[in-house]
Structure 1
Amino acid sequence: MTATVAGPASAPAPVARHLIALSLLPGVGPATVLACHVQPGGAQAAWDAVVAGRPSRVAGLAPAMARLGGGGVASVVAAARSLDPELELRRHLALGRHVLVSGHPGYPERLAQDPSPPAVLFAAGHLGCLAGPTVAIVGTRNATRPGREFAAELGADLAAAGVAVVSGLALGIDGAGHHGALRVDNGSGRPVGVVASGLDIAYPRRHAELHARVARSGLLLSETPLGQRPVAWRFPARNRIIAGLSDAVVVVESRSAGGSMLTVAEALDRGVPVLAVPGHPSAPAAAGTNDLLFDGAAIVRSVADVFDAIGMTSVPPVCPDPGREAVSQPPAHRSVLAAMDQTPAALSEIVARSGLPLDVVSEALVHLEAEQSVVRTAGWYERATPVGEHRTGGRP
């Protein structure tokens, strides 16, 4: 009887171990591993050919071997002969990693129909994080303070609604989105991190603690085997997975070119909605997001815009009545106002204070803002200051 991978991933062990081994070979990237996986004979036939010294005769390997040349091919063969696929599989399982293989149970459904799915994925954490709605929060590593704050609050608001925040765990906007999501401890909306290294290597080092927290509270994914450090080409490859896992991609801050724009391109190729946060026209960190908005991306002013993009809520048109007194307001609107003061608060804070569902609070805030009972600034909400008064505190 064929052995199977222990745990949630139930791909036959020969398939998993040979995909892992192929992924460890120099010059062999995700596209080549996938080509070997889907060809007749699969990864095992490809591996046997490499060990026998004939990798160029394998259809899935031939293009990569042609690029490497004779010396490179010899290095690939030597590397293969020094590896034990079974030991590599056991090493991953012994460290508690899930090994997920395309076409087999346990593999993420969102990637099953992807145009370029990873042949094998390594996971640490809770696979159930991908069962609900997902939104990617991406952007520049060199983010401004307001950009990081907005990303954190957006991450918290999404997590509070049970939406899994997906990002690449990079510095700047990515990390801020996950820090925000981790502030919410409601058992849902757990963060999902997709990394470009082996799951045992935290990159960047400054995010080692964040890396560990996401693995504990949410889910870490990589198509790179353990022990492999990130190299430049793995980051664009990682971005396609972020796009493929997400119901929408939100770009908070970005220059005109960079990793987040590569994620945008991958999202557009997959028909995934792209949203952007507007910024000052002269701000370099907003050049890319403003370009996206000019080209037709949906605007993000608050989490309500993201809910609308993924179909989680529908806010009815507002017909304000300036003469309406507070006593005539719906009970939910009065409860939301009672939960606020002249100190700026995030949507997640107002939800917690009011005890109302997030969609009810979001709709109430839209109406209250139209009535000028509430003021919104950069994602923060506060009660309008009565004439003759001034605010005496608030967030920096």
Structure 2
Amino acid sequence: MPAPDLTDSDVLARIRLLRSPGIGPVSYFQLLRRFGDAAAALEALPDLAARGGARYQPVPAHRVEAEIARLHGAGGQYLFHDSPAYPRLLAALETPPPVLTWRGDLALLGQGAVALVGARNASAGACRLARDYAAALAARGYAVVSGLARGIDAAAHRGALAAMECGGGTIGVIASGIDVTYPPEHAELQEAVAQRGLLLAEMPPGTEPLARHFPFRNRIIAGLAAGTVVVEAAPRSGSLITARLAAEAGREVMAVPGSPLDSRSRGCNDLIRDGAILVQSADNITELLERFDGPQRLKLREPVWTGMEMEDSSFTPLAVPDEGQVEITHLLSAAPVATDELIRQSGASAGAVQMALIELELAGRLIRHAGGRVSLVQV
């Protein structure tokens, strides 16, 4: 649906809702859908938590006002999920970020994009290859997306920055707040991306990067791009997480082969063995991207239902009466279970089960897991 014209009070309510305890992307979208706007959802949170068995207070308004002031002081702005500038491919994810913060050229989100990722302790040859690929892609008008980490990421950003006068550019997605640099030695590079390209963050300003933040960053990198290229990666690296997230989203996954004697090449070689497309030049990459039209063409892993699928894709208030509280606690345990299984076993509607889960989550009694699974908190 068209994005609403947001007032300052709308922005404050949306950020308060997202920053309140127990609210993540899944809960945020479900609450907007149920109550129509963030202000009404905020007002309902204490009652919902009480139904789950706990007292609850949303995050105080003054804390969010301080966050907004800090973001604007750093030269950043918010980008909401229903803005016309919100990238189409990112919005197609099952759990897109409800809000991003940004600095730079937002028009880059409207260009074709390719993610270029790899090892932090990359070899000199792989860094040069990533830099050359990124420069060639930017020269052809692509936005090169990466994570501003050491190694391959940094080389990709530098290569794209060097060639962006030809019409392309680079997008850096970070796991910290937009006003925090990590690693510290990339302060100059991060500022160059913010000044000449586009810098994006999902975490609130002032947030230091923690290990649990990086998978969220990786899903944005994969979600922004029609294809992800892995240049060099060890087994179980973050780059492989990005590749598999891209595959789950139905995007092209490409990998550069390497020597089996180098552990930094094992991740790429494993990806190719599992179905990723072998690439050895920028021409190979652009050939695949030019054919990309959205449908999933390879499956490194089956897509999973995350609980975001509702009766339709809009975020208007539900046009059905409140069905009252649905009791599903007896169906839950410490072992994660899929939300659609709860819907089947309870016999209730999807919306009613989702609201019951939100009540438990707000009460601190529920944990959400990958793949749309949930479990009770162990006492």
TM-score by length of 1: 0.67
Q: Residue 195 of structure 2 is aligned with which of 205, 208, 216?
A: 216
2: distance between equivalents of 1:12 and 1:290? 50
Distance of aligned partners of 1:105 and 1:10 in 2 relative to their CA distance in 1, 3 Å threshold = farther
Deviations 1:26-60 (A, max 9, x none): 5544444444444324332333345xx556258xx
Aligned 1:144-293 pairs, distance under 5 A: 144-186=123-165, 188-293=167-272
- Secondary structure of 1:110's aligned partner: helix
Using the TM superposition, give the Cα deviation of residue 177 of structure 1 relative to its aligned residue in structure 2, in angstroms: 0.7
Mapped contact 1:10–1:104 kept (Cα < 8 A): no
Deviations 1:248-289 (A, max 9, x none): 100000112121111111111111000000000121100010
- Match in the other structure for 1:124: 103
Distance of aligned partners of 1:10 and 1:140 in 2 relative to their CA distance in 1, 3 Å threshold = farther
2: distance between equivalents of 1:170 and 1:55? 40
Distance of aligned partners of 1:94 and 1:49 in 2 relative to their CA distance in 1, 3 Å threshold = farther
Mapped contact 1:11–1:100 kept (Cα < 8 A): no
Aligned 1:318-337 pairs, distance under 5 A: none
The letter of the residue matching 2:62 is L
The letter of the residue matching 1:239 is N
Q: Residue 289 of structure 2 is aligned with which of 307, 310, 315?
A: 310
2: distance between equivalents of 1:205 and 1:45? 41
Using the TM superposition, give the Cα deviation of residue 96 of structure 1 relative to its aligned residue in structure 2, in angstroms: 2.9
Using the TM superposition, give the Cα deviation of residue 114 of structure 1 relative to its aligned residue in structure 2, in angstroms: 2.3
Aligned 1:49-88 pairs, distance under 5 A: 49=44, 53-54=46-47, 56-57=49-50, 77=57, 80-81=59-60, 83-88=62-67
Deviations 1:136-162 (A, max 9, x none): 001111211111111111111111111
Count how many residue pairs are aligned between Structure 1 and Structure 2.
290
Mapped contact 1:98–1:123 kept (Cα < 8 A): yes
- Secondary structure of 2:62's aligned partner: coil
Using the TM superposition, give the Cα deviation of residue 307 of structure 1 relative to its aligned residue in structure 2, in angstroms: 0.9
The letter of the residue matching 1:125 is G
2: distance between equivalents of 1:12 and 1:169? 33
Work out the percentage of aligned pairs sharing the same amino acid.
39
The letter of the residue matching 1:93 is H
- Match in the other structure for 1:16: 11
Using the TM superposition, give the Cα deviation of residue 213 of structure 1 relative to its aligned residue in structure 2, in angstroms: 0.5
The letter of the residue matching 2:240 is M
- Match in the other structure for 1:373: none
1: distance between equivalents of 2:5 and 2:198? 18
- Secondary structure of 2:163's aligned partner: coil
Deviations 1:100-138 (A, max 9, x none): 111233322332332111111111100111222111001
TM-score by length of 2: 0.70
1: distance between equivalents of 2:30 and 2:71? 23
- Match in the other structure for 1:301: 280
User: Gapped runs of 5+ residues in structure 2?
Assistant: 293-379
2: distance between equivalents of 1:311 and 1:80? 45
Using the TM superposition, give the Cα deviation of residue 82 of structure 1 relative to its aligned residue in structure 2, in angstroms: 6.6
1: distance between equivalents of 2:288 and 2:67? 42
- Match in the other structure for 2:38: 43
- Higher-Rg structure is 1
The letter of the residue matching 2:37 is G
- Secondary structure of 1:141's aligned partner: coil
Deviations 1:58-99 (A, max 9, x none): 8xxx7xxx9xxx6xx76xx3x723735445434433543221
CA RMSD of aligned residues (A): 2.6
Aligned 1:83-98 pairs, distance under 5 A: 83-98=62-77
Deviations 1:162-188 (A, max 9, x none): 111001111111111111111124152
User: Gapped runs of 5+ residues in structure 1?
Assistant: 314-396
The letter of the residue matching 1:83 is H
Using the TM superposition, give the Cα deviation of residue 224 of structure 1 relative to its aligned residue in structure 2, in angstroms: 1.4
Distance of aligned partners of 1:191 and 1:268 in 2 relative to their CA distance in 1, 3 Å threshold = same
The letter of the residue matching 2:149 is A
**More RCO (CA 8 Å, sep 6+):** 2
